[in-house]
Amino acid sequence: MASSRNLFSLFHKPRVIPFEFLGQPSPALFSTHIVGDTPILVRDFIHKALYDQNVGYFSQKSASVGVLDSSIKFNRLEGRKAYMKHLDKIYKQSDVSWFTPVELFKPWYAHGIAESILRTTNLSVPLKIYEIGGGSGTCAKGILDYIKLNAPTRVYDNISYTSVEISSSLAAKQIQTVGEVDSHLSKFRVERRDATDRNGWGDVNEQPCWVIMLEVLDNLPHDLIYSENQMSPWMEVWVERKQGEKLSELYRPIEDPLIKSCMEIIDMPDATTGGSRVTSAMKSIWAKVFPKPRWCWLPTGCLKLLEVLHGALPKMSLIASDFSYLPDVKIPGERAPLVSTKKDGSSSDYNSYLDAKGDADIFFPTDFLLLERMDHYCSGWMNQQKDGKSLKRGKKRRTLSLDTAAFMEEFGLPTKTRTKDGYNPLLDDFKNTKFYLSVPTHNVK
């Protein structure tokens, strides 16, 4: 039986090593490009390490994203052992590192998402869907296929599906995949841009729409804050280059607005304030006797994206799926990432995020309770609450988090991914993943 870590690795999104990194170049090459003479915040370091057009892990020069030639016939497999053997065969035949769940379980994974949209949306107005980070286009094609076959004809005829994709190679692949059905092309388009750039969204669009993000949140940049001990104030962490190509951390007082906002949403107390004198004295003694450094990772990239989406699409409905926890994390801190690379067919994890200089993936768990708080915050409700207006107006969003198994049992067709002996990888092997649904209430103004 495969370990939970192996299953995690198999089912995670395409972790494709860019062509220029398939060899073993000197780490100095990466650090020179990622960090210059001026220190940068951790989120900027992570963004460059992952997305820089020249040396980023998800460079547009990467090999093709994993696409299965045909859907897996689960009902022909005897059980778990047969499924794992089939997966092993698929990976050996492919030149990619990973396949997404929406690819492994096509078309059923995308069909479940499409069904959740059809049950929730107001079909009296044209259906408009945005997908951020659409990969190879498998989700878009699956949703369009399902709506064409299961929704009223007018819904499919008037649908608009826009993929917001930062990679030029993936943008081209999406058009190719969706174009397998001729009628889809007139309803589908790709906008190659960064979804976190507000300018790319244009004027505010007051029309209802859907935004889909499958395994996007885990690769959004995070910030890191540090405290020397239990009584010391939090400091924001910067990355600097010193002594040639060596990277190190630099600690500064909290000043960055995005970090401050994230800490406010989490409701993180200042370590130097609060509590009685006796309590503070006890904490001070404890910190001196047992000093314990603290690290905390803040999803500032997610916060920025939500701010942009709520600002541009105030009546959007959101559906996101991602990892609720990650196994075997070596890096310290709450919500710490895995930093993983793959060489010669085997994966290995780094002990420090600073070791990821374009040759490794950096991916984070999603705190779904915090995601919900950020969603409400960016919709404007939490600000109203502090102003004492929430009693009159109420929340602007209705939100729900579901385990992947629960989501697929409700909206999907689980029988389609079940093997002969009853084993169902879609339901049984995604214990560390969840779906998040968020729709606007009538309190939208």
Decide if 146 contacts 112 (C-beta within 8 A). no
Amino acid of residue 260: K
Task: Give residue 213's pLDDT band: very low, low, confident or very high (50, 70, 90).
Answer: very high
Give the CB-side neighbour count of residue 281, counting CA atoms within 13 A.
3
Q: How far is Cα 320 from Cα 334, in angstroms, rounded to an integer?
A: 21
Q: Which two tokens stand for residue 331?
A: 């890096």
Q: Tokens for 402?
A: 């579901």
Whole-angstrom distance, CA of residue 176 vs CA of residue 189: 11
* pTM for the model: 0.85
The span from the CA of 198 to the CA of 196, in Å, is 6
- What pLDDT, in 10s, does the model give residues 50-77? 888 777 887 644 454 678 889 999 999 9
Contact 98, 12 (CB under 8 A): yes
Average pLDDT over residues 183-191: 97
| 53/138 Cα distance (integer angstroms) | 24
| Tens of pLDDT, residues 383-437 | 655 655 544 456 789 999 999 999 999 999 999 999 999 999 999 998 899 999 9
Q: How confident is the model at residue 26 (pLDDT cuts 50, 70, 90)?
A: very low
φ/ψ of 345, rounded to 5, equals 80, 0
Mean pLDDT, the chain, whole residue set: 84
CA-closest candidate to residue 59, choices 16, 120, 123: 16
Residues 40-52 have pLDDT tens digits of: 999 999 999 988 8
